[in-house]
C-alpha cells in the first residue's frame, strides 16, 4: 500500500512542482500584491473606467466567440464528408495561420484593412454607389473582432473537428431513410449532438479572445481598449497595484464563464449519451 | 458544378466552393505575410517591386540569428520539459481516473489554457521580480503543458484497458507500463502534443515582452518590437520557411490522432 502510494507520488511530483512554482505562487503574489488603498487606486483608475473596459472586453470576446464557433462548426461539417486527402487539404488551410507568428498575422490583417488593399477594392466593387472615402476599419472594434476571429478560428476547428468526425453515420442515414430533409437533419439531429462541443468551443474561444493582448494592441483603437491592453499600459507605467487588480479581474472572469458553460456542456453530453444508447 | 464523390456520398460544388472561399479568407493574412517575405519594400505593401530575397539575407544577421536560436532552444527546452511533466501526469489520470488529484490536474490544465497570459505576466513579475530567464522558461512550460497532457489523455482513452491490465498481470511495474507498453502506441499523440507545445513557446509574445530584460531577445519579442518601431520584414522571411513545416506537421499528426480516436 505504502509502495503504491510512493509510486503514485512519483507520477505526480513533476506536475505538482510545475503548478506550485508556475501557477499557485504567482497567483498568490498577485492577490497579496494588491495592497494599495482605494484612494490611491482611484487616482490611477476610476471604477467607471474599469467597468467600461470590462464591458468592451466582454462584448468583443462574446462576438468573437459566437462568430468563430459558427464558422468552425460550418467548416468542420463541410469537411466531414470529404475524403481523407481532401480533409487534409482543408485542414492544412485552416491550420496554416498557426505556423505564422501572431504579430505577423495581425500586421497582415492591418495591411488587408488599409486603404489600397485588395479588401478595400472589394468594398468598392460591392458598394459601387459609394463615392467618398470608405470608412476605415483599421483601429476599430471591428478590426479587433476580425483579427481575433482569425486568431481563434484554428483552435475552434481543432476542438470541433474530432466530435464532428465521431457523429454516428447510422443515425444520419436513419434520418435520411425516414425522409428528413437535410436542413432538418442538421438542426434537429446533428447540432443537438454537437451541442456540448459547440459550447466548449464557444467558451474556449471566448476565454482566448478575452485574454488576447497582441491582436487588440495592433488592431484596436483608443475607444475600444480591452482589459489586457489596459493591464499592459499600467504595467509599463509601473502602476503594478492597479495592474494586479485588473489582472485578477482578468483571471477570474474567463474562469467563471468557462466553469458555467462546462457544467452545462457536461450535462448535455450525459443526456446525449443516454439518447444515443 | 459537378458533384464530387466522397467517403459518405456526394458533396455539392457550392459547398466546396464555400469551404474553399472561407479557408482563403482565413488564410489571407498569412498569405500577405508570405508575399511580404519576398518584398523589396520596407512598407506593408504586397504590390511594390519584384520578388526579392533581401529579408532572407537579413535573417542571417547576428541579431536575428541570435533571436531565432534563442527561440528555438527555448522552445525545444520547453517542449522537453512539458513532455517530461505531461507523460506521467496523463498516465496518472489513466491509471487512477477517479482520484481527486486526477481531477485537480485536469482542472488546473484547463485553467492554464484560459488564463490571460498578461495576468500571468503580472503575477510572475510580482513573484520573481526582474529575473529574466527563469520566469520566462517557467511561464512557457506552464502554458505549453496542457497540449501534450490533453493530447496524451485523448490517446490513452483509445487504448483498451486490457493492454495495461495484461502487462500488470505479467509483472510490469507502473513505470514499465507507461514507458514500454503505452507510450510506444501513442507516438502520434505525443508528437502532436510536442508540436503544439513547441508552437506555444515559439509563438508566445506576452511573457517575452513583459518579463525579459533587453539583453534577452526571443524571436516573438524581436518581431513585436521591430514591427512597432520600423517596418523590418526579416521575421516574415523566417516565418515563410517555418510556417508550411508547422502546418503540414500539425495536419498530418492531427488526422492520425483523430482517426485513431475514431477507431
User: Does the distance separating the beta carbons of B243 and A96 come in below 8 Å?
Assistant: yes
Residue B205 and residue B224 in contact, taking contact as beta carbons nearer than 8 Å: yes
Which one is predicted more confidently, A272 or A263? A263
User: Does A78 contact B248 at a Cβ distance shorter than 8 Å?
Assistant: no
Contacts of B84 in chain A (CB under 8 A): 14
Beta bridge partners of B10: B5
Would an 8 Å CB–CB cutoff place A25 in contact with chain B?
Answer: yes
Kindly report the nearest CA distance between residue A129 and chain B, in angstroms: 25
What would the pLDDT profile of A88-124 be if each residue is shown by its tens digit?
777 877 777 776 777 777 877 877 777 666 677 777 7
Note whether B107 and B137 are within 8 A (CB): no
Mutate to test the interface with B, among A71, A94, A104 (most CBs of B within 10 A): A104
CB–CB contact B33 A104 (8 Å): yes
ipTM score assigned to the predicted complex: 0.83
Q: Which residue of B has its CA nearest to A28?
A: B123
User: How many alpha carbons fall within 13 Å on the CB side of residue A243?
Assistant: 23
Q: Work out the pLDDT band at B29, boundaries 50, 70, 90.
A: confident
Contact A158 B219 (CB under 8 A): no
CA-based nearest residue to B196, from A148, A154, A146, A166: A154
Q: Measuring CA to CA, how many Å separate B82 from each of A136, B40, B174, B209?
A: 43, 40, 20, 22
Q: What are the boundaries of each domain within chain A?
A: 1-36, 45-276
pLDDT tens profile B95-127: 888 888 888 999 899 899 999 999 999 999 888
Integer angstrom CA distances of residue B133 from A159, B25, B211: 32, 38, 8
Q: In this predicted structure, which of A49-63, A89-103, A191-205, B208-222 has the lowest mean pLDDT?
A: A89-103
Q: How far apart are CA B11 and CA A78, in angstroms?
A: 9
| pLDDT (mean) for B129-136 | 80
Q: Name the residue facing B251 among A15, A71, A91 (closest C-beta).
A: A91
Alpha carbon distance A28, B230 (integer Å)? 39
Q: pLDDT at residue A7 above 90? A: no
| Residue B45 pLDDT exceeds 70 | no
pLDDT value of residue B147: 92
Which alpha helices (DSSP H) does A38-130 contain, by range? 38-44, 47-79, 84-99, 102-113, 118-126
What distance in Å separates the CA atoms of residue A248 and residue A33, rounded to the nearest whole number?
Answer: 10
Question: Which residue's C-alpha cell is 485542414?
Answer: A91
When pLDDT is averaged across residues B156-172 and rounded to a whole number, the result is 85
> For residue range A234-271, what is the model confidence (pLDDT) as tens digits?
888 888 888 888 999 999 999 999 889 888 888 887 87
Q: Which of B97, B113, B126, B154 to mutate to test the interface with A (most CBs of A within 10 A)?
A: B126
Q: pLDDT tier at B259 (50, 70, 90 boundaries)?
A: low
Bridge partners, B9 (sequence order): B6
By C-alpha distance, the chain B residue nearest A166 is: B262
Percent of chain B with pLDDT over 70: 85
The neighbour count for residue A240, using CB atoms within 10 Å, is: 17
CATH number of A45-276: 1.10.3720.10
Provide the whole-model pTM: 0.84
Amino acid at each position: 500500500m505504502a509502495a503504491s502510494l510512493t509510486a503514485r507520488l512519483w507520477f505526480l511530483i513533476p506536475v505538482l512542482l510545475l503548478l506550485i512554482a508556475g501557477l499557485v505562487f504567482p497567483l498568490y503574489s498577485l492577490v497579496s500584491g494588491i495592497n494599495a488603498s482605494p484612494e490611491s487606486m482611484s487616482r490611477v483608475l476610476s471604477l467607471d473606467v474599469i467597468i467600461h473596459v470590462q464591458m468592451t472586453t466582454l462584448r468583443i470576446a462574446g462576438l468573437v466567440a459566437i462568430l468563430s464557433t459558427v464558422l468552425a462548426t460550418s467548416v468542420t461539417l463541410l469537411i466531414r464528408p470529404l475524403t481523407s486527402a481532401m480533409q487534409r487539404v482543408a485542414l492544412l488551410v485552416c491550420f496554416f495561420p498557426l505556423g505564422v507568428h501572431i504579430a505577423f498575422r495581425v500586421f497582415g490583417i492591418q495591411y488587408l484593412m488599409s486603404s489600397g488593399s485588395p479588401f478595400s477594392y472589394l468594398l468598392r466593387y460591392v458598394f459601387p454607389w459609394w463615392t467618398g472615402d470608405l470608412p476605415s476599419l483599421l483601429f476599430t472594434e471591428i478590426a479587433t473582432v476580425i483579427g481575433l476571429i482569425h486568431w481563434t478560428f484554428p483552435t475552434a476547428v481543432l476542438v470541433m473537428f474530432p466530435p464532428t468526425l465521431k457523429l454516428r453515420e447510422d443515425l444520419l442515414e436513419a434520418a435520411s431513410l425516414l425522409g428528413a430533409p437535410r436542413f432538418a437533419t442538421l438542426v434537429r439531429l446533428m447540432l443537438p449532438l454537437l451541442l456540448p462541443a459547440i459550447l466548449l468551443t464557444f467558451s474556449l474561444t471566448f476565454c482566448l479572445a478575452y485574454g488576447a493582448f497582441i491582436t487588440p494592441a495592433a488592431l484596436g483603437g483608443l475607444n475600444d481598449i480591452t482589459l489586457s491592453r489596459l493591464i499592459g499600459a499600467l504595467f509599463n507605467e509601473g502602476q503594478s497595484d492597479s495592474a494586479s487588480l485588473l489582472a485578477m479581474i482578468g483571471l477570474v472572469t474567463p474562469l467563471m464563464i468557462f466553469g458555467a458553460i462546462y457544467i452545462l456542456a457536461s450535462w448535455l453530453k450525459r443526456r446525449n449519451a443516454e439518447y444515443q444508447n | 458544378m459537378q458533384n464530387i464523390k466522397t467517403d459518405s456520398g456526394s458533396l455539392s460544388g457550392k459547398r466546396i466552393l464555400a469551404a474553399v472561399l472561407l479557408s482563403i479568407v482565413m488564410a489571407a493574412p498569412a498569405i500577405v505575410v508570405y508575399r511580404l517575405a519576398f518584398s523589396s519594400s520596407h512598407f506593408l505593401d504586397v504590390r511594390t517591386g519584384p520578388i526579392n530575397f533581401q529579408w532572407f539575407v537579413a535573417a542571417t544577421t547576428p541579431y536575428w540569428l541570435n533571436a531565432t536560436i534563442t527561440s528555438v532552444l527555448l522552445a525545444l527546452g520547453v517542449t522537453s520539459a512539458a513532455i517530461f511533466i505531461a507523460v506521467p501526469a496523463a498516465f496518472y489520470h489513466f491509471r487512477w481516473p477517479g482520484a481527486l488529484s486526477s481531477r485537480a490536474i485536469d482542472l488546473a490544465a484547463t485553467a492554464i489554457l484560459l488564463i490571460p497570459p498578461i495576468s500571468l505576466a503580472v503575477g510572475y513579475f510580482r513573484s520573481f521580480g526582474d529575473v529574466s530567464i527563469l520566469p520566462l522558461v517557467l511561464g512557457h512550460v506552464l502554458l505549453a503543458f496542457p497540449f501534450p497532457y490533453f493530447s496524451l489523455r485523448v490517446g490513452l482513452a483509445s487504448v483498451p484497458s486490457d493492454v495495461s491490465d495484461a502487462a500488470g498481470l505479467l509483472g510490469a511495474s507502473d513505470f514499465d507500463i507507461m514507458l514500454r507498453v503505452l507510450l510506444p502506441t501513442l507516438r502520434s499523440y505525443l508528437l502532436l502534443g510536442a508540436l503544439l507545445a513547441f508552437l506555444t513557446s515559439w509563438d508566445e509574445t506576452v511573457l517575452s515582452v513583459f518579463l525579459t530584460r533587453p539583453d534577452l531577445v526571443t524571436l516573438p519579442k524581436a518581431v513585436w518590437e521591430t514591427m512597432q518601431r520600423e517596418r523590418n520584414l526579416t521575421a516574415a522571411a523566417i516565418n515563410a520557411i517555418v510556417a508550411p513545416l508547422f502546418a503540414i506537421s500539425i495536419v498530418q499528426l492531427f488526422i492520425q490522432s483523430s482517426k485513431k480516436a475514431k477507431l
